[in-house]
Amino acid sequence: MAWLTGPYQSEFMRNALAIAVIVGVLCPVVGVWVVLRRLAYLGDAMSHATLSGVALAYLVGASIVAGALAAGLVMGGLIAVLGSRKVSDDAVIGVVGTVLFATGVIIISRSGGVGVDLTHFLFGQITTVSPADVRLNSGLAAVALVIVTVLHRDLLAATFDPVHARQVGVRVDALRLVVLFLVSICVVVSLQTVGLLMSVAMLVTPAATARLVTQRLGTMTAVAVGVGLLAAVGGLSLSYHLASPPGATIALVAASIFLVVFVVSAVGTRGWRGRPRTKLRPSKPPIPIDRRVSYGS
């Protein structure tokens, strides 16, 4: 017990814990849709692209949150504009994501003397979480969760069968932008705990873990949140005791849970020796066709 509560004697670790809880709930909820829509790569590229907005905001003294969200929207807009039949979406995402990431790196290198901040953005800066950050991030998370709740029927319809969804009046293209916006919010909220580079771990890993164990959306979301909370809070505590970077520790805890669930579910369906659990029925001898000539004649 002391192992668990020990890290949270100090004010800044309690703030960090609050952010970890927010990340542990929000990212898996949005992540369920990222995984179901097969957008893991988009999530990864968006987290990188966010650096440009964060760096620019930092340079001009604007709100880092606003900068990050703006970068997300620019990325979404560019993908929508550049996507075409000839170039597949993932190629466009690769191009746009790296352009925005590279822009961020160059802005930071040119700003002089703030090199240390680059690593803060990339890997998180959990020791600098303030109560104001906690309030802002819980507000952002609340907005995102309301959007997911209100639109969940449309998200389900558009993700399972976009053609039918469009026919019954779902704005499928607008919904795609909404998902991009939600991913943006997740990246922003994860910025301080896990950092840009690892934010996709909290977005994808818990939802992917949940996908292994259930065929029901409600259960999948609940399991994803459980895994997310365990990874975020467990990873944060572990990083305190091991004096390891929190972001990387959280990502590895999440991945460890995924691995355990993967092995357990694989064993559950196949048995230890890799054989199917259900025995095949012994086959009946074939009906000797050539001896059944006396059909009607």
Partner 1 sequence: MVRGESAEALVVKDLSVHWGSRRVLDAVDLTAAWGELVAVIGPNGAGKSTLFKALAGLVPFGGSVVLGGRECHHRVESAHIAYLPQQGDLDRSFPITVGQLVLTGRRPFLRPWRRVRPIDRVAVERALLEVGLSDRADSPVGSLSGGQLQRVLVARALAQEAEVLLLDEALAGVDTPTTHDLLHLFRRLTDAGRTILVATHDLALARQHFTRCIAINGRVVAEGPSHRVLASEVLDATFGSAALPSLADTGV
The CA dihedral of 171, 172, 177, 183, to the nearest 10 degrees, is 120
Number of residues that bind partner 1 (CB under 8 A): 25
The residues, ordered by sequence, that sit 6+ positions from 194 with a Cβ below 8 Å of its Cβ are 23, 123, 124, 201, 202, 246, 247, 250, 251
- Sole binder of partner 1 in the list 110, 135, 216, 241 (CB under 8 A): 216
Residue 214 in the binding site for partner 1 (CB under 8 A): yes
| CB-nearer residue toward partner 1: 159 or 205 | 159
| CB-nearer residue toward partner 1: 39 or 165 | 165
- Sole binder of partner 1 in the list 15, 47, 52, 159 (CB under 8 A): 159
Residue 167 in the binding site for partner 1 (CB under 8 A): yes
Minimum CB–partner distance for residue 150 and partner 1 (Å): 5
- Segment 57-62 long-range contacts (CB within 8 Å, at least 24 positions apart): 58/108, 58/111, 58/114, 58/117, 59/107, 59/111
- Sole binder of partner 1 in the list 168, 280, 287, 289 (CB under 8 A): 168
- Sole binder of partner 1 in the list 18, 36, 212, 230 (CB under 8 A): 36
Q: CA geometry: angle at 223 spanning 270 and 198, to 5°?
A: 100
Of 264, 148, 156, 159, whose CA–CA distance to 212 is shortest? 264
CB 123 within 8 A of CB 117: no
45-53, 63-71, 104-112, 211-219 -> range binding partner 1 (CB under 8 A): 211-219
List interacting residues with partner 1 (CB under 8 A): 36, 150-151, 153-154, 156-157, 159-161, 163-170, 211, 214-217, 219-220
